[in-house]
Each structure stands twice: as C-alpha cells, then as structure tokens.
Structure 1
Amino acid sequence: MDHWGEIRKLIEARHAERLTERLETLGEDDRKEVAARLPELLKELRGRFDRWDDGLVDYAVVLRVAGAATLGGAAAVASWLYRREYAPRWAGADNDVDLVLRVLAGRPAAWRADLAGRLVLRLRRADDRGMALALALLRETGVTPPPHDVLVAGWVSTPPAAGLRDDPLLDQLLPRLFEAEGVGRALQWENDPRRGWLRALPGLADSGRVKRETLTGGCLSRFLRGGTGIDLRFFVRLHEALDPSPAEVAAHARDYLRLLPAAPGPVAELATRRLRAGAPLTGDDLAEAWEALLFRAERKLVRAGLAWLRASVRREPRLADVVAAPLARAFAADSRELQEQAVELALAHVGGMGEEGRAAVREAVELLPPDLGRRVAPVFDGGVVAEAPPAYVPPPLPPAAERARPLEPPPGTPGELRRLLWDDGVRGWQRWERALAGLVTLAARDRDGLAAALEPPHRQWTYWQYREESWRTAGHWLTAAVLSLLGDAPEQRAWLRMMPVHRLAAPHRLLLHRGAEVLRAVEEGGLPPLLLATPTHDTGHVAAAELVRRLEVLEAAGAKPLAADLQQALLRLPRIPDPGAAARAARLTSPAGRIVAAWTCPEPGTTLEWRCGDEGPEHDWRDRGHRHTIALVPSCGGVRTGLPLVDLMLGDAERHADPEHLAWWPSMLPAHGEVAAAHLAPYVLRRHWNEEPVGPEQALAVARAEGPAGAASALLLARVLGDPRMPESLEVLLETAARGELPERELGRQLALLVSAGEVRMVDVVAVLDAAARGGAYEQVWRIAAAALPVLLPRPGERPHNGLARFVALAASAAEWSGARGELPEVRAAAARKGTSDLLRETRRLHDHLTATTSGKER
C-alpha cells in the first residue's frame, strides 16, 4: 500500500483532520518513510510560490502535524514545528495545538517531556507562537519546567481553561511569578480585584490553596528587586488586594523601610501607608523613614513624610530629637509649600532637639529661600538674632567667545581643489565658498591645466542632475560649472533652464544666482580673475580692505565683477567702516568701485507677527486655542539700494527654500543678524514631520552676526532653548549674554508665546533658564522671566500652564539673586487671588520680593 502517496494527497489537499486520523494508523516503518519524504515535499511546495509570497502558510497546519507525527527525535520535531516559512511575521497563535497533541499522544512520556523542555527554551516572547503547545505539553507530562522567564510571562497571559486552582503548573510557576522579568508588563492592565489574577490569587490564599506568605512575601521581594512603575504596577495592586494585616507588615518592617528611598512612587506610597498603619518602629527607624521620604523628588511623598512626622511628634514629643535630619532634607524641596511646612515644624520642635540636631538644621538653612532662612537662622543660632544667611548667588558669566575667526583660504592649486571637490566633499557653506572661489581663480589662471586636474573619479555620478526639472541646491550649480570647464556637460546653457521659476526665499535665490552666473561665465569664457564675496571670516564677513584689494585686481585686469557676487560682497561688509579701505575705494574708477566707495550699511526695520491662519494677531489665537494653524509672518523693508538682489535680501521673507541651505543664511547677512533671523523665522515652527528644524547652529550664527537683535532673533533663540534635543542652545544664550547683546525682554515674550502655542514645554524652558541663571546669567534670566510672566500668568478663570509654578519660582530666585525691585501689575494681580497652590505661593513670594522696601537694584 502506498502510504506516502496517500499522505501526500492529504497534505496537498490541506485536509488537516483526515490527515491526523491517517497518521495515527501508521506503523513505525511507514512513519520513517513519511519523515524521509517530508523535506522533499516542503522544497517542492516552496518552489511553487514567489519568495515574497506567503502561500506556504496555507500548508502550515498539515505540514506541522505530519512532521510531529513522523519525525524521530524531539529536537527534529521542535525545529520542524516552528520553521520560519510556516508563519509570517504578523501571524497569531497556533491554531493546531489539539491536532499536534493528538499525534504526539503515542510517544513515550520521556520523549514528550524532552520536547516540552526544548519548546520552552525556544520561546522568545510571552505571545510566542509556540507558547500554547509548550504549556499544554508541560501540563500533560508533569515535568518540571526549565527556568525561563518568558514561559512565566506566557503562563500568566494565557490562564488555563480549567481554572487556576487545578492547574498542574500552579505550584511550579507561582514562586517564579515574583522573579521572572516580563510578568509585570504582561499583567499591567489587570486592575479589577473582582476578576482575573487580582481575584484568583487572593482567593487561593483565602482557601489555603497557596500560602499568604508566598504572595505577600513575593510582592515584597519583587519590589526589592526593583523595576519601573510599569513592571511593578500589577504587584502593587496584588499587594493591596491581599491587604496584609499589621502583624504581617511588622514581620517585614525592615523590607518596607528599604523601599522608601528609591522605589518607584506607587511602591513607596504603599510602603508608607503600611508602616504608618501601626508597624512597631523605633525612633531610629522613624528617622530613617522620614529622611528617606523627605529626600524624594515626588512632592506627594515629601508631603506624606511631613504629615507622618508631624503626627508622630504630636503623639510622642520625645521624637522631636530625631526630626532634625529629616527636616534639613526637606529644606531642599523644590516646593515653596513644603519648605514652609518644614520651617514651621523645625521652629515648633526646636526645644526638643539636641545640639547635634540643631547643628543639622543650622547647616541646611542655606538651602532655603532668603526670607525663610531669616526666620530659621536666629532661632537655631542659640537664640541670638543673627545676620540673615548669605543668599546663594551664582558665579559671574564667563567671558564671551571670540565673535569671528579667519576663514581658511580657497584652494591655491588644482590638486587642493580636486581634493576638496571629489575627496572631502563640498558640504556646508564654507567649503562651497572656498570651492567656488578656487574654481574661478584657478580657471582664470590656467583653464586647461585645471580641467586636466579635475577629472572626476566617477563621472556618471554627476550626470543625473541634468535630468531634473530645476537645480535647487548650490552644489548642483558648482558641479555643473566643473563639468562645463571639463567640456563634458551633457547640456549647454543649462543656466537658462535650470533656475527654479517659482518664488524662493531671498537667501536661497541669491545662492542660486551666484552659482548660475559662475556656470554662465565658464561656458562663455567670461570668468573674472577672482570673486569678491568669498568670506574672510567664519561669520561670513568680508574685510573691507580685502574687498577693495580684490576690486583693485579686477580694475587692473580690466575685468568686470559678476553681478550677484558684487551684491553678496556688499552684504558681507562689516557695519563699522574702515577709513583706510574707504580712502582706497574712493580712488577706484570702475562702476563696481564707485558702488563700493558709496556703500553705507542699510538699516531695514523688521517685524514679526503671530497669526492663527488668516484670523489675526496673537491674542486671537490665544483665545481660540488654534495651536495647529499658527503661522509666523516676518517682514523687513523700508530700505532700497537700487541693487535688485540686495533689495530682495532686505525685503520680506518667503517660505520656499531647500532645508539644506538654512544654515548658510546667517553667513550671507553677517552685518544684519536680525534680517537673517527674519528669513529663518518661517522655518522655526515645524509643520511636517520630515522638516529639518532650525537649530542652535543657526541661532549661534545669528547671535554672532552684527546689528541690533529684535523679535526674529529672539524667536529663533527661544525655539532652540525650548527643545531638549538641543542642549547646545544654552551656550548660545550664555555667549550672547556675556557679550551684552541678549534681547532679554523680546526673548521672554517669544518664549511665552511658544509655550502658550504648545510649541515648547514649560518644563524644558525652566530647565534651560535655570541652568543659564546658575551659569551666571541670572540678571538676564530675571528680565526674560519678567517679560514672559504677563503672557504666561493665567487670567481669571483660566487654567495655568503645567509647570508654571516652577517658572515663577525660578523668576523669584533670579529676582532675589539680581536684587531686582519694582512692582509688576500682572504679578500683583495674580498674587492677590485666593488659594494655597504652589503657583500662588511662588507668585506671592515674587511679589513680596519685588515690592520689599529693602534696598536693591531697580529693574
């Protein structure tokens, strides 16, 4: 009888049930024959489908059942059952476990136990495809499961159909429940004590099926092992469902105490409640507990520690001697409310403290705000009214970095230019400027020799750009100029067709014009001896004396400068005139020389308006909350020079540019940092996930540019300060502050508008301003905060921004450090409101300081 032929037909027909019945009737020799033929059939079936198809998945059940029934060794069966091609990556749990168990039923018990162990060790996730079969085999064989955390997580994720009480795996896996990683995450959504594991486990303890100590002690051991809040969430709920008695808590009092300093918040809260409920603790234990809680960052826990301390000392006054160290910890709390409570407790119990405790409090006084410190210091200094403790004042600002450094000169030989073009790569504005200048100068000196030296190593890489609709990057134009110099450009006069026709941001347009005019001059043989606009400094400036020297070279050669090159050179002249260079320029006779001699630095005005779509200025979008439609509309103008590209650069901003070149723009306007910032302003708020944000590089370049900073510069710096992914922005702020050029009031307003618009988070703003204040910029931070508060403080009936209390606390500290005085109407109005929130406490603290009669600086 052809057993294999019959089995093959059932596999190809995918009749799983009939196949299972037939396999159960096979003899030993027939099983071996089928096992030998299965790999060949698998290969044949695989060949019927494209490698990307999942057609073989349709045969997975019959193939798995056939292999499980006929393959000899447990290792071979384990490998066969879970071949990768049987299930795509998104496949769910196996749906053939019952069939596989049927064909395995006739195997020896030891063999099936071996298979169960092998399947367990193959598991990688709690929802692994093989989990159901592994658990079923473990239950059938009764073998001790191998120690594998994934198995325990899978066990709790798939409760047994017969119920947990009668599960053969309960006694073996329950102790591992509190040890295996992944169990907490698998059970994190269990939150109803009337169902699931939160009902089953306490029920088993109540009935005596498992010991309560196994569960309560297991929860404690899991807490002590550590983990995230998600990992421990289920065990916290289980512990509370078990509701340990005071006697059970007393037996583990030391373990509960060990949880207080560093366990996740919910675990520490649990331990605090249980210890307060009546666990017998010595004075040293209480001091340890209070000190641990008052050192926590979570205000809820610090508040709970203070309440526990207050109640305990009221009940047992002798404990006053042990509260000093914990209260000293609380002096460093980041909440004014908690600091005030700690001060009240310290003053109330000073009589019961020994000298060691008094000393501990006295040393911690400097952690308090000055007004609270003045209340504590005299009492803890032997009853003598002492001078107020010196308030903390940050160190002074470090000196500002050098504004500009000389830029590396252009390549002086064809070999240097070749290395810059083909080896190093032209990335960034400095290399592009150097490469463009080197190409023009060396081509004017020896065009044929330069062409011979610049042969690209992989010429085909450069041709694809001629198939594009237009050239939107400066690198395209430079590559085209090189190919034209080599006489190998696929297209002549490409500069006519490849210039983008739609509107572009002015700096982008100027860059493309400079590249296009060099390409045209190469094609037409009209290259000048040199370029005028090549920067001499890394800010983008061209020294006036060097520009005049270049003009003298052109005039002596009878050559005309390129138009866009001349206009870019004018925009790069420093704002401070050079009398010697001006005198030399006055002797020039060429039209370009006369333009430079008559040049004075224009002063365009700039404005920046926040709009909600087309609906109006900033107060409209704040009232309506249209965060996702906010647009920034910068403009600058009022100056006309008669030079078209210069006037374009000093005109209104456009939001059409290649993001690659945003970092280049400040170097194109080094004498007009505010204008450069206005051009960058439309790119500050990202509107698409793949947009490159304006970053600290541009903010630093704008800060090192010349000219008065205004709203656009402030907005640019505010945006990067509010982004935690840009820690370098702090250095930008400190450098600008050290130079005395930080637009504090405008910066504060723009920061407030960004927070109100949901573009930056208050917590990030507070973090960076606190670091700046402690880095020496505390006076500047105060002025920033003073300008931001009128926008940020909530109007009556409004909900305050998350984290505003910390911002006001920082403002109060900066005001104290800088000695600021002078009432702010918005702060006065907010401080007069009723309530005891942290925000109101900090607002009143700030108002009290600003309106105090003690002498100080006026702000």
Structure 2
Amino acid sequence: MSVVTAAVRAGRTEEALGLLTGLADAERRALLPELKEIRKELRSAPWGSGSREMLPALHAAGAACHTGAAAAASWLSSSDLRWRQAAPELLLRALEGRESAWLGDVAHRLAQRPASARVPYALMSGLVRRSGCAVPVTDAYVIAWIQHVGGHGRRGSLVDRLRAEPDLVRLVAGFFDLMDLSEVRWMLGEDTGSWQYALAELTRQGFLDRATVVDACVARLLRGGGLTDHRVFLPLLVRLDLTRAEERARIADWTALARDGASPVAGHAQAVLSALALDGELTHRRLAEASEGVLFRGEKKLVRAQLVLLGKVLSRRPDATAELLPAVALAFGHEDAQVQERALKLVERHAERLDAALKSELAPATEQLTPGLRARAAGALGLAVAAPMAYEEVLPPAPEPVRLAAAPETAVELAEEVGALLASDGGVAAFERALDGLVRHAHRDREALLTALGPVIERRWWDDTGVDPQGRAERYFGGSHLDLQGAENALDLLLASLRGRVAASRLRPGARRGSIGPTCVHHGLADAFDARIREVAWRLHADPQPLLLSTPTWSTGLLEPADLVARLDTYRRLGARVGAADFAQALLRVRRGDRAAAAAAAERASALGTDEGERLARWLRAEPPAAPVAGRETRGARILVGYGEVPEMKEEFPVKFRALGASVTAYGTSRYCSHWNPGTRQHWLALLPERRELVAVRMVRDLSDAAVNDVRGGAVALPLLAESGGEAGECVHLCLAYGLAARHPEDRLAAVDALLVLAARGQLDPARLGADLGQLVRRGAVKPVRLAESARQAAATGANATIWGMLRHTLPVLFADLATAAPVGSVGPVSAARGLGDLVAVAAECAERSGARGELPHLSRTADRRGSSRLVAEARRLRDALSARTAV
C-alpha cells in the first residue's frame, strides 16, 4: 500500500494532496487501481461505518490522479462519493497545474451532468474562471448558479448580487431556457426580494436588454412548461410594464397565449387584446381569430369576458358585425347554458345587420343550442323551426362473458402464461386457466412441469437456495394468519409448493388456525379464496388432482352445471379424491338461474352414484334463496349496509366457507383490515358469480372511502360487479353511488362504465340510485361537482333518459333542503351545496335531450329564487325543459 492510499484510508485529505503534488501523470495513474479498490470497499460498507470518514480524501485524491478530462469529470460527479465529497476549494487544488483547455473541458463535462448530480457551483465556476472558457449555460450550471446567488445568508440584496455577476446576460438567458423550474421554484419568491423583481429592476437599469428580456419572457410563456412556470414568468412580464407599442408588436403572441396558455396567462393576454381592441388598434379579423380560441376554452370566466368584449366592439363598430358574429356563434356549443344564452343575446341584438347569406351561415351553429334557446335563435335569424325528432336512448352493448379456453396443452406454454400473469394480472379468466393447468400438468408429469417452470421460479423473490431449502417462502407462506392477496400471491404459493419451498405440513387442510380476535368485513371472502388455493397447493405436494372441479366456464366465474357433472364423472372413473374446498367453490359457482338446465344436470349428477353427485343434485334442485334482510347503518356522513344470514351457505360447507353465509355488518367486528390489494376483489366476485349482493355488501365501505376519504383505486371492481350475476339490489346500487362521486377520475370512469352496463342489462334501478345519491349529498359524503362530472360523462354516451331517471330522484331531496337554510356541509339539509348548479345543468340537458316532461317536486321554489346564480339559472332552464313551452 502506497503512502498516498495510506493517507486516504486515514482520511487525511491535506496530506494526500501534498503527497500527490509534483507527481508525474504516469505516477498518478498508477495509484488509481488502489483508489478504485478503496471505493469498491466503501460501496458495500455499512452506512454508519466509520470507514466513510475517508470519503473526502478519496474524492480529492481520485480527482488529482485522473489525467483524462472525461474520467476526472465522472469521478468528481459520482453519486457514491457525493454525500461526503471534498470541499470545492480542495478539489480545485487537486486539479492545479492542468492546462486551461483541460480544465475548461472538465468544467463543461460537469455542467452537462443532470442537475440531480448536485455538482457544486463553486467547483464548476472555479474551473471556468481558471480556464477562461465560456460559461456553460446548461440546466445543471444555471440551477446551481441560482441556488448559489439566491442562497440564504448572502450579503446585499438579490439585485446587488446579480448586478455584480460578470456573466449575467448569458446566465439570465439560461434561466429562461431551463427545462424544469421545480429544483429552484421555491427560491424564486414573489415579493420585492424575488427574482422577478430583480430581473425587472436590472432591465430598467439597463444591465439587461429590455427587448431581449421581453421576448424571452413571452417565448417562455408560449412554450409552457411546468404547472407553476407561469407564476415566475407572468409576474415578470407584468413588472416590465410593456408600452402600448410593445404590446401592439406582439399581437400574434397574445392571440396564441389567449387561446392555449395556462389560465392566468390567457387572462393576461385577453386583457391586453381587449385594451387594443377597444382602442381600435386590433383589426376585426385578429379579434375574431382570438375569440375562436378563447370561446372554446373551459374557463367560463374567460369565455364570458370575451363575449363582453365582443359585445362592446359590436356596439361601437357596426361594420364589424359580419366578421365578429360568426365568432360569437362559436359559443353556442359551450356546455354552459348561461354562456350559450349570453352568446345568443348578442346575436339577437345585432341580427338585423346580417344579410340572408350570413344568417344561413350561422344556421348550423344554432343546432348546438339547448332546445329552448334553439327556438329563439331560429326566430332571431328567420330560420324555419325544425320538427323535434323522437328521442332514442343509446346505451353501449352489455359486455358478454367469455368462455374460458382449455388449459395449455404443454408445460412450456403453461410456464409462459404463468410468467405473464406474475408480471401483470390478467384477470380471473387467465388466473383460473393457469391454475387448472398447474393442477393438470402436476398430475400428468410433475418433473416436466418443474423443468418448464424453472426459469419462472428462479426469478421469484422467495426462491433462495442456501442452506435452508425452504427459507423465505416457508416463513412467508407458512404463517398462521396470512391471507393470500390476489393472483400473484396465490401463484407464488403454488410455485413454492411445487418447488418444495413450503413444508406439506404447513399446507394440510386444518393446519392454519382460524382468525384470532376481531375480523374485518372481508374475512369470509378472503378465507374462502385462501382455503381453495392452499388446498390446491397441498394436493400438489401430497395427492395431485387430475383437474379442478371449480374452474369456471365463463370469465365471470360462472360454472355450467353440465361441465361440473362431467368433471365429477372423470373423478369417479379415475378414483380420485375430491377436494373439499374445490368442491365447495364449484357449488358456489355452478349456474342455478337456468332452472331447466339445473334440473337436467341434477338428474345426471344423481346417476353418478357418488356422495358429491348427490350433493350437487340437491344443490341444483334447491331454489336459490331470497336475499337476506338488509339493514342500513349510518356512520358519520356515510350510509353503509349490513346483511342477515344465508343459511344454505352454512350447511354442508367447509369451515372456511361458512363465513360467506354469516351476517354482515359494515365493519365486521374490526375496523382494521389487511385486504388492501384492489386486484383481489375481482377474484372475490368470481367466488359468488350469481350472488353479487353478498360480495357488494362487503365492498360498500371500501367504495365509500373512494368518495369520503379520496382513496384511489377503490372503484376498479365496479364494472366487474355490474357484469356479474344475480340481483343488483341495495348493496350494488350503494356501491355505484359512492363510485360515481369518487375523488379520482379513473374511479369515476369505472363507476360510469358500471352504470352503463347495468342499464344496458336492464338491471339498473334509477330511482333507488338517485334516492341514495340525494341522501349521500345532503349528508356530505358525496360532492355534487364530482357527481355532476360522472353524470355528464354517462349522458355523453347517449344515456340521457337513464341519467335523467336517476337525477329526478336526487334533486328533489336537495331542492327541498334549500328552503331549510341549514349550514352547508352539516349532516342533514344543505342550503346551497357547492356544485349543485353543475348537477342541475346536467339534469336540464338530459331532460331537454330526452324530451322529459312533468313536475319535479320543489323545483319551482328554487327557480323562483332571486338572482342569476348558476343554480337558479339552471333550475329555471330545467323547469322550462319539463314544461310544454320547450317543445320545438
């Protein structure tokens, strides 16, 4: 070991640099292998190890020993040396004596590193000064400069510090070109000590060229960027206080910003264009171009402001009518009926100036108006009133269940499918097909199956081959109380069992103790799923089955009775032993809704002469029982549901399945729940494919979390719930109600899909759903604005009558509460819930499109209220829609 590496290992940085002074390049390079070996040791050293004290010395010595610019830059910026790197002044000392070109090369290479490399600004700028090279205006360098100049504890004002910068112009240009401000956004500030203020002041003082700064600022706003970039560059632009000439020179930029900029930026651009237009400095054509973009924006404030501007210009300049009224008519397609009415009033006010050709040109735009406004537009433009077309509800076709394909023929094909399932959950059908394939191939040729699965198993986290052959798999899957979570967890257990990583004694039925202490509402579903998989895993060890009885026929989990009878016959012929959990799951999946098919299959099952055949025959002949009595529970803002017992599921079923027939309360006996994996719920639905209410009652609380606690992913199973079989009763509809008001858009979209599926299958009860939603809104569990968005999405598919049928039972509850003037958000009546106007707007549009007529309780009292708020305006529109006056 050399004296240099000895000094490095001792952490003596000054000594190491002193020993390196005067050494030739070849001698320095000869030390690199020893230094790299130290670095390798430190990478594996414990984080709290004292050996890490040598890092600064290692960092500086390595920099001095690298003679290539690329290698030196890589060493200086390496991530494993970053946390205890040498001080910049020591690193600059280590690089003394190098040629200027070499130092400049290193500086530019360091500046090219990503900003996350955290290369110190003092190091990069020191290399730039010593080399005399041009400043590298990269993101990393500019961000480091901003952090250096704007850091806390610096003397003087930010303006003074920036004024003293020798490369101010180039670095400010780099500031405008930064790809992402997130690294420094918090440092930029918003007051007189902010960068916006400082740059505007330096521009005023002449240190920065005004035209260049204005152009860069506008260009950055045009480019867009991060979500908060406009909070930096828009205030700077405002502080620059552009002259009218400067504004006039950038009319094209203001137009683009008004059309496509972030909302605050668009508002500023709109204000500039408005001032130019009202002063006669904006041509009618330019104003029409800007209006075309603004009137298509979603921000109603901007749209209304643009209509006000157009109205002022039209009043002052009658010659602008031909160019501006077609732009006004673009607002006829806005989703807000109030915006449509504002635009129509402008057209009505100036329609007499239009010739016949221009009136005909506006005619197609009037078709986008609501029916009531469409009649007014026809009268103003002298158009013929078209006879109303008969409304036809358009619902997407209900998805059809898919028949499962047979298990893969070869073990290699099966291994490929298992690997794909472990990488990405393929749903119930793919999982059940793979599960049946594992059972069949293990019975046929266990060794060939293990050989094929070898590459898949070797990549699993639990497949350790150390001195303990069971290891992590035994500790994880052999736990007494572990419930399997989803397909991946289940497949891992089966593969570990095949590989011999879990002892058979841990898998034998009855080896796992039942739940100790309180249980959550899901435990019945979780126990049944778990028991079946663990039985399969044990049989793979002890007594391979020829096939699974419970493999469903259809993707929903439903099993055809004829298929189950045929499988029982195979077991009889082979003398195979039927698994208790496998047979129990088969009974719960077998179709009983088709009574004729069930009766025919029952006869064939009795003819088998086996106990299982007789049990199946009795099950098929029995009438499916009515849904148990449900009882509602209220917990805070929520409405939850409980169920009574289902006796037929507690008789002749294994212990782990009997909880499916037990009574259910909202939380079970415990609020704590470990069943967090959303992917598990699709397999729960496949447990009881003809009794979805028994699954839904155990999911209501989860769905309520999506609306009340903003939990993401809670509604992912709703479309599958809608596609499942059996009664769609109180629990299904309550789950759907919470899903329609979920916090996250993807959850609301899943709920809309479920609603449309139920409607297409004729299983939706709009009155029940609407009444539930009304109660949940008034209790504060459902936000009207979220519900309005879901309702609007569903109506956009053509389901206007369906959504109206739902909302006509929701709104009376809320309209009645408006008269009570109770505090907003209280449990009980609400006086003016936020977003209720949006909900009434959707209802009005659905009523107009579907041709609904009749009285809606308490609507008139809301419509007769004073003022012109969105709620009152949309209530009046709804009242008109429901009366004969809107017929056109």
* Same fold, judged at TM 0.5 (above): yes
Q: Aligned pair in 2 of structure 1 residues 8, 735: CA closer, same or farther (>3 Å)? A: closer
1:287 aligns with 2:272: no
Residue of structure 2 in register with 1:313 after alignment: 314
Q: For residues 163 and 452 of structure 1, what CA distance do their matches in structure 2 show? A: 75
Deviation for aligned residue 1:809 = 1.6
- Pairwise CA distance, 1:183: 5.5
Higher mean alpha-carbon deviation, 390-399 vs 251-260, is at 390-399
- Structure 1 residue 145 and structure 2 residue 135: aligned? yes
Q: Evaluate the alpha carbon distance shift between residue 186 and residue 325 of structure 1 in structure 2; reply closer, same or farther with a 3 A threshold.
A: farther
1:603 aligns with: 626
Code of the aligned partner of 1:837: S
With over 3 angstroms needed to count, the CA separation of the structure-2 counterparts of 1:223 and 1:644, relative to structure 1, is same
The structure-2 alpha-carbon separation of the partners of 1:105 and 1:851, relative to structure 1 and needing over 3 Å to count, comes to same
Tell me the distance in 2 between the aligned counterparts of 1:440 and 1:556.
18
Matched, 1:171 2:169: yes
**Aligned partners of 2:26, 2:132: CA distance in 1, in Å?**
32
- Partner residue of 1:847? 879
Any conservation in 2 of the 1:632–1:681 contact (CA below 8 Å)?
yes
Aligned residues: 814
Query: Which of the pair has more CA radius of gyration?
Result: 1
Correspondence for 1:361: 362
CA distance in 2, matches of 1:270, 1:803: 27
User: Quick one: distance in 1 between partners of 2:770 and 2:283?
Assistant: 52
Task: Measure, in 1, the Cα distance between the counterparts of 2:631 and 2:833.
Answer: 24
CA distance in 1, matches of 2:108, 2:570: 87
1:744 aligns with 2:733: no
Inter-partner Cα distance in structure 1 for 2:134 and 2:497: 75
**Are 2:811 and 1:789 equivalent residues in the alignment?**
yes
- Contact conserved, 2:407 with 2:433, CA < 8 A, in 1? yes
Evaluate the alpha carbon distance shift between residue 268 and residue 394 of structure 1 in structure 2; reply closer, same or farther with a 3 A threshold: farther
Give the Cα–Cα distance (whole angstroms) in 1 for the partners of residues 68 and 662 of structure 2.
Answer: 81
**Equivalent residues of 2:770, 2:810 under 8 A apart:** yes
Q: Which moved more, 1:680-689 or 1:784-793?
A: 680-689
Q: Give the letter for the 2:810 counterpart.
A: A
**Counterpart code for 2:479:** E
Question: TM-score if structure 2 supplies the norm length?
Answer: 0.76
1:253-402 pair list within 5 angstroms: 253-278=251-276, 280-381=281-382, 386-387=384-385, 390=388, 396-402=394-400
Structure 1 residue 237 displacement after superposition: 0.8
Q: Supply the distance in 2 between the matched residues of 1:363 and 1:143 (Cα, whole angstroms).
A: 65
Q: Partner amino acid for 1:673?
A: R
Q: Match for residue 746 of structure 2?
A: 725
Contact 2:703/2:735 (CA < 8 Å) preserved in 1?
yes
Letter in 2 for 1:285: R
How far apart in 1 are the matches of 2:838 and 2:710? 33
- Identical aligned residues as a percent: 29
* Alignment partner, residue 625 of structure 1: none
For 1:142-198, what per-residue CA distance to the aligned partner results, in whole angstroms no more than 9, with x for missing partners? 543245344334333432876222321013333444334335873576353522322
Question: Which of 84, 87, 92 is 1:96 aligned to?
Answer: 87
Letter matched to residue 611 of structure 1? T
Distance 1:611 1:43, change over 3 A: same
Question: Cα 1:103–1:711, aligned 2, differ >3 Å: closer, same or farther?
Answer: same
> For the structure 1 residues 202 and 825, does the alpha-carbon distance in structure 2 shift closer, same or farther, using more than 3 Å as the test?
same
User: What's the offset of the Cα at 1:717?
Assistant: 3.6
CA distance in 1, matches of 2:34, 2:178: 41
Q: 1:388 to 1:110 in 2, by over 3 A?
A: same
Equivalent position of 1:627 in the other structure:
none
The aligned amino acid for 1:787 is H
Instruction: Name the counterpart of 2:77.
Output: 82
Residue identity matched to 2:505: E
1:497 and 2:511 correspond: yes
**Aligned match of 2:824:** 798
Aligned partners of 1:174 and 1:651: how far apart in 2? 71
- How far apart are residue 365 of structure 1 and its match? 0.9
User: What letter corresponds to residue 810 of structure 1 in structure 2?
Assistant: V
Residues 471, 499 of structure 1: 8 Å contact kept: no
Q: Does 1:125 align with 2:115?
A: yes
User: Secondary structure of the residue that 1:361 maps to in structure 2?
Assistant: helix
Residue 210 (structure 1) aligned with residue 208 (structure 2): yes
| 2:643 match | 635
Superposed displacement of residue 738, structure 1: 1.9
CA offset digits 1:267-291 (Å, max 9, x no partner): 2222222233346212222222233
Structure 1 residue 469 corresponds to structure 2 residue 492: no
Distance 2:775 2:45 in 1: 52
C-alpha displacement of 1:341: 1.5
User: Counterpart in 2 of 1:626?
Assistant: none
CA distance in structure 2 between the aligned counterparts of 1:530 and 1:177, rounded to whole angstroms: 67
Matches of 1:804 and 1:746 in 2, distance apart?
A: 20
CA distance in 1 between partners of 2:54 and 2:508 (Å):
60
Please state how far the C-alpha of 1:50 moved relative to its aligned partner.
Answer: 6.2
- Secondary structure in structure 2 of the residue aligned to 1:601: coil
From 572, 575, 584, give the equivalent of 2:593.
575
Instruction: Return the offset for 1:778.
Output: 1.8
Q: What is the CA distance between 1:603 and its match in structure 2?
A: 0.4
CA change 1:303–1:71 in 2 (3 A) is same
Which deviations, in whole Å up to 9, do the C-alpha atoms of 1:41-71 show, x marking residues without a partner?
6357547756235667644555566677787
Q: What stretches of structure 1 of length at least 5 have no aligned partner?
A: 613-620, 623-629
Is 1:773 paired with 2:795? yes
Name 2:222's counterpart in structure 1.
224
Q: Is the 8 A contact 2:100 2:130 kept in 1?
A: no
Moved more, 188-197 or 791-800: 791-800
How far off its partner does 1:236 sit? 0.8
The residue type paired with residue 690 of structure 2 is A
Question: Does residue 506 of the first structure (1) align with residue 524 of the second (2)?
Answer: yes
Q: Take 1:642 and 1:67, find their aligned partners in 2: how far apart are those partners?
A: 74
The whole-number CA distance in structure 1 between the counterparts of 2:374 and 2:413 is 66
Alignment map for 1:685-724 (pairs within 5 Å): 685=704, 696=716, 698-720=717-739, 722=742, 724=745
State the alpha-carbon separation in 2 of the partners of residues 283 and 376 from structure 1: 24
5+ unaligned residues in a row in structure 2: which ranges? 464-468, 826-831
Residues 56 and 450 of structure 1: is their aligned pair in 2 closer, same or farther, counting only changes over 3 Å? Answer: closer
- C-alpha separation between the residues in 1 aligned to 2:220 and 2:493? 64
The 8 Å contact of residues 322 and 358 in structure 2, kept in 1 or not, is answered as yes
**1:52 matched residue in structure 2:** 45
In structure 2, the residue matched to 1:837 is: 869
Match of 1:155 in 2: 145
Aligned with 2:856 (options 801, 820, 824): 824
- The answer to whether the 8 A contact 1:674-1:702 is kept is no
Letter in 1 for 2:87: D
SS of alignment partner, residue 745 of structure 1: helix
Secondary structure in structure 2 of the residue aligned to 1:261: helix
Q: CA deviation at 1:786?
A: 2.6
Summarize the Cα distance change of 1:154–1:332 in structure 2 as closer, same or farther, 3 Å threshold: farther
Which whole-Å CA distance do the structure 2 matches of 1:197 and 1:477 have between them?
A: 57
Amino acid at match of 2:881: H
Deviation at 1:499, TM superposition (A): 5.2
Q: Is the 8 A contact 1:667 1:701 kept in 2?
A: no
Q: In 2, Cα distance between the equivalents of 1:356 and 1:708?
A: 59
Give the conservation status (yes or no) of the 8 Å contact 1:677–1:712: yes
Q: Equivalent residue for 1:810?
A: 842
For the Cα contact (< 8 Å) 2:523–2:659, is it kept in 1?
A: no
Distance 1:287 1:685 in 2: 48
Q: Distance in 2 between matches of 1:309 and 1:432?
A: 61
- Secondary structure in structure 1 of the residue aligned to 2:824: coil
Shift of 1:370: 1.2
Q: Take 1:422 and 1:290, find their aligned partners in 2: how far apart are those partners?
A: 57
Change (3 A) 1:364 1:489: same
Q: Structure 1 residues 554, 292: closer, same or farther in 2, change over 3 A?
A: closer
Residues in 1 aligned to 2:512 and 2:56: alpha-carbon distance in whole angstroms: 60
Please tell me the residue identity of whatever aligns with 2:763: E
Q: Say whether the 8 Å CA contact 1:223–1:267 is kept in structure 2.
A: yes
Deviation at 1:139, TM superposition (A): 5.3
